[in-house]
Amino acid sequence: MSNPLLDTSSLPRFMEISPEHVMPALTELIAAHRQKLDQLLMATPEPDFDSLVAPLEEMGHELARVWSPVSHLQGVLGSGAWRDAYNSALPLLTEHGTELAQNVPLQQAYAAVGKALDATAGPAKRSVVDQALRDFRLAGVDLPDAAKSRFRQIMQQLAATQAAFEHNVQDASDAWSLHIADEKELAGLAPQIIERAAAEARKRDRQGMLLTLDYPTYDAIMRQADNRRLREAMYRAWVTRGSEHGEHPQWDNSANIELILALRHEAAQLVGFRNYADYSLATKMAQSTAEVLEFLRELASRSRAAAEKELSNLSEFAGRTLAPWDIAYSLEKFKQKKHSISNEELRRYFPAQKTVAGLFKLAERLYGVRLEAQDNVARWHEDVRYYRVRDEAGALIGGFYTDLHARTGKRTGAWVDECVGRKNLNGQPTLPVGYLVCNFPPLDDRGRSLLTHDDVVTLFHEFGHMLHQLLTRVDYPSISGINGVPWDAVELPSQFMENFAWNFEVLEMCSGHVDSGKPLERELFDKLEGSRNVGAGLAMLRQLEFALFDFRLHAEYDLAKGSRVLQILAEVREEVSLLQPPDYNRMPHSFTHIFAGGYAAGYYSYKWAEVLAADAFGAFEEAGIFDQATAKRFRSEILEIGGSRDIMQAYIAFRGRKPKIDALLAHNGII
């Protein structure tokens, strides 16, 4: 096969795929799918699930496999050519998706299949059809032709503008650097951070040290740097990325924000919703905007006293009124003073390779799966590893790539995405494969990357997503793994897994001192556990600030008034925040979760799912952290079901009741 992107018989051939393959592959495949769809609709006057829905599932799966490496590579390689290829392909892909979702004969065929399904069909088939019918409605299948056309135009503009938003943030981050001539200015920083800055300077033929805006460097400066002016400079660079106040205002996202919000609002109203927040909730657990706002405000109200006490204690400890660039630093010093522990001390116990190996042992102990490295797999970078996953009987059930270390051009943050979705429509199953991506410190000259405990928690979080993807038992791609799961429940498995990173037996498996190889000592763990909830109230309010801002922004949008982005942000901060940031703060301009990711009017999902996760972990605390019956029940009722069941009913089947908000507050030490 001449175009390697079209070869879906194996894992992506990363070393052979190039940007030039993207448009020809997608053009050819979409044309073939259009022809096949026409044939299906003509050949099946009385369609059933097997004659219509199953072939559509096959086509969706094939297109997703071709698009997956394109979307992935443009985010991890920092290649202008890959970005151009991605941006060129977005209109074609978006047009095709909307075209399918607005296809009236196809919608009518699905409706006929839905009516014909009887009780023996099973919940998975019913869910596939019901979710498809919902998506037809959300895409405006019943609209007049002119309105349909406008909806398609909006989807095209949105895809392009959201991509531009993300690229502006990436470009602004990559372009920024701060030259440090005197190492004394970096007092307090760990040696590996200073050496990395020196190496960055050498790479650019400069003397001294060069700080960049990759997250490991930013986080280290904010936590460790004694130089307050340096922390402020780093903070200012971080919170002005993609804005008119940044060093590179050519990547200002102000216009993109206005356009994104206007387009979302118009699209929502076209298909009968008051606003985009209501539109967003059509695919979530939460039933109304009032329910979401009440949930967030209850959490804020019940967390405020704890946060106020924390800030008071922290200010007294620091001996000054704290600015935003002082908080992480003061918290770190406070933990060192009160609990005799620091992130840098802990980092010595968590070489990335050892932590990953211990995490795999945990998965084996909980769920019986075995994870083993496979070297003869094409990769996109030398840091990438591939792992096969086998079940208790040794049968292969899937695999995943890891790309754990930060580098220039790579998208910031941590995420899991689908490479290949699980499918079994014809007796020949396709096994799930995923990408697990983080931005941990790059390997040093001895091939080591030392993780903070926060990094360990992040790794556990993303691995929870990966288990959700890999352990699915659903055969239909549109609802297997994470697909088809309400967005405010997607974070349940990931936030649930974070709790294991606070268990001594687990951390024993996941640690080995970089010099001695000895696992984390009980005394040090006790100090870590004692520091767990330091700053938890402040952290809670910070996340609630983001969630309320996002939700109000979409729920209250008024075309005549525009986004009012800074006004709404100021009102939210006045309502829930204890720290007021400087006027130049432009947090929204780099808020990729809501302006370029899948969390628009859905950032509340993190806290919503965190309630589920804390309550679910309570079952393990009650039965025993490694209790096999509890783990088996969590796997079968939550991890395996994809989008095939109502998630609240599935949760009740696992826990025996609905979740309680007090579980989250207790886990955070707030009550």
pLDDT by residue (tens digit) across 187-241? 999 998 999 999 999 999 999 999 999 999 999 999 999 999 999 999 999 999 9
pLDDT for 2: 87
Pairing of strands 396-405, 433-440: parallel
Per-residue pLDDT tens digits for 414-457: 999 999 999 999 888 999 999 999 999 999 888 899 999 999 99
Q: What does the alpha-carbon distance between residue 475 and residue 495 come to, in Å, rounded to a whole number?
A: 25
Q: Alpha helix (H) ranges present in 426-487?
A: 453-470
Contact predicate 511/355, CB 8 Å: yes
Give the type of residue at 358: G
- With respect to residue 346, please indicate whether it lies within any of the assigned structural domains: no
Is residue 390 located within the same domain as residue 423? yes
- With respect to residue 579, please indicate whether it lies within any of the assigned structural domains: yes
Give the type of residue at 196: R
> Taking the CB of residue 146, how many other CB atoms lie within 10 A of it?
8
pLDDT over 80 at 181, yes or no: yes
Per-residue pLDDT tens digits for 265-287: 999 999 999 999 999 999 999 99
**If you compute the radius of gyration of the chain from its CA atoms, what whole number of angstroms results?**
25
pLDDT over 90 at 46, yes or no: no
- End-of-domain residue from the set 118, 141, 170: 170
Is residue 552 located within the same domain as residue 628? no
What is the distance, to the nearest Å, from the Cα of residue 532 to the centroid of all Cα atoms in its chain?
Answer: 23
Question: What whole-number percentage of the chain has pLDDT above 90?
Answer: 95
- With respect to residue 395, please indicate whether it lies within any of the assigned structural domains: yes
| pLDDT band at residue 344 using 50, 70 and 90 as cut-offs | confident
- End-of-domain residue from the set 101, 136, 170: 170
And the tokens for 506?
Answer: 């687990």
| pLDDT band at residue 1 using 50, 70 and 90 as cut-offs | low
> Taking the CB of residue 120, how many other CB atoms lie within 10 A of it?
6
Contact predicate 285/645, CB 8 Å: no
User: Residue 435: which H helix or E strand, with range?
Assistant: strand 433-440
Of residues 657, 670, 647, 646, the one with CA closest to residue 618: 657
Q: What does the alpha-carbon distance between residue 241 and residue 255 come to, in Å, rounded to a whole number?
A: 14
Contact predicate 73/126, CB 8 Å: no
Average pLDDT value over all residues in the chain: 96
Phi, psi (degrees; rounded to nearest 5) at 405: -115, 145
Is residue 309 located within the same domain as residue 216? no
> Annotated catalytic, 462?
yes
Contact predicate 232/240, CB 8 Å: no
Tell me the β-bridge partners of 389.
371, 398
- DSSP characters for 383-437? T-EEEEEE-TTS-EEEEEEEEEE--TTSPSS-EEEEEE--B-SSS-PBPPEEEEE
Is residue 124 located within the same domain as residue 112? yes
Q: What does the alpha-carbon distance between residue 411 and residue 590 come to, in Å, rounded to a whole number?
A: 12
Is residue 137 located within the same domain as residue 258? no
> Taking the CB of residue 315, how many other CB atoms lie within 10 A of it?
14
Is residue 484 located within the same domain as residue 519? yes
pLDDT for 189: 95
Instruction: Return the biggest CA–CA distance within the chain.
Output: 78
pLDDT for 43: 84
Is residue 389 located within the same domain as residue 509? yes
Is residue 469 located within the same domain as residue 586? no
Is residue 82 located within the same domain as residue 10? yes
pLDDT over 90 at 78, yes or no: no
| pLDDT band at residue 48 using 50, 70 and 90 as cut-offs | very high
- With respect to residue 545, please indicate whether it lies within any of the assigned structural domains: yes
Q: What does the alpha-carbon distance between residue 40 and residue 36 come to, in Å, rounded to a whole number?
A: 6
Residue 306: give its domain's CATH number.
Answer: 1.10.1370.10
- End-of-domain residue from the set 603, 620, 638: 603
Kindly give, in sequence order, each residue whose CB lies less than 8 Å from that of residue 390, ignoring residues fewer than 6 positions away. 369, 370, 371, 372, 396, 397
Tell me the β-bridge partners of 501.
none
Is residue 403 located within the same domain as residue 258? no
- With respect to residue 190, please indicate whether it lies within any of the assigned structural domains: yes
Of residues 367, 280, 440, 384, the one with CA closest to residue 633: 367
- With respect to residue 368, please indicate whether it lies within any of the assigned structural domains: yes
Q: What does the alpha-carbon distance between residue 510 and residue 360 come to, in Å, rounded to a whole number?
A: 9
Q: What is the sign of the dihedral through the CA atoms of 563, 564, 569 and 571?
A: negative
Q: What does the alpha-carbon distance between residue 239 and residue 591 come to, in Å, rounded to a whole number?
A: 10
User: How many domains, the chain?
Assistant: 4
| pLDDT band at residue 44 using 50, 70 and 90 as cut-offs | confident
- With respect to residue 347, please indicate whether it lies within any of the assigned structural domains: no
Domain that holds residue 553: 254-341+536-603
Question: What whole-number percentage of the chain has pLDDT above 70?
Answer: 100
Contact predicate 546/577, CB 8 Å: no
Residue 123: give its domain's CATH number.
Answer: 1.10.1370.40
And the tokens for 220?
Answer: 């280290």
Per-residue pLDDT tens digits for 475-514: 999 999 999 999 999 999 999 999 999 999 999 999 999 9
Contact predicate 163/90, CB 8 Å: yes
pLDDT for 555: 98
- With respect to residue 455, please indicate whether it lies within any of the assigned structural domains: yes
Pairing of strands 370-373, 385-390: antiparallel
pLDDT for 119: 75
Kindly give, in sequence order, each residue whose CB lies less than 8 Å from that of residue 119, ignoring residues fewer than 6 positions away. none
DSSP classification of residue 395 = -
Kindly give, in sequence order, each residue whose CB lies less than 8 Å from that of residue 4, ignoring residues fewer than 6 positions away. 12, 13, 16, 17, 21
And the tokens for 127?
Answer: 């869910």
Is residue 611 located within the same domain as residue 520? yes
Is residue 267 located within the same domain as residue 399? no
Q: What does the alpha-carbon distance between residue 589 and residue 426 come to, in Å, rounded to a whole number?
A: 47
Contact predicate 378/14, CB 8 Å: yes
Inter-CA distances, 117 with 54, 127, 129, 228, Å: 14, 11, 9, 66
Active-site option among 166, 332, 418, 462: 462
| pLDDT band at residue 121 using 50, 70 and 90 as cut-offs | confident
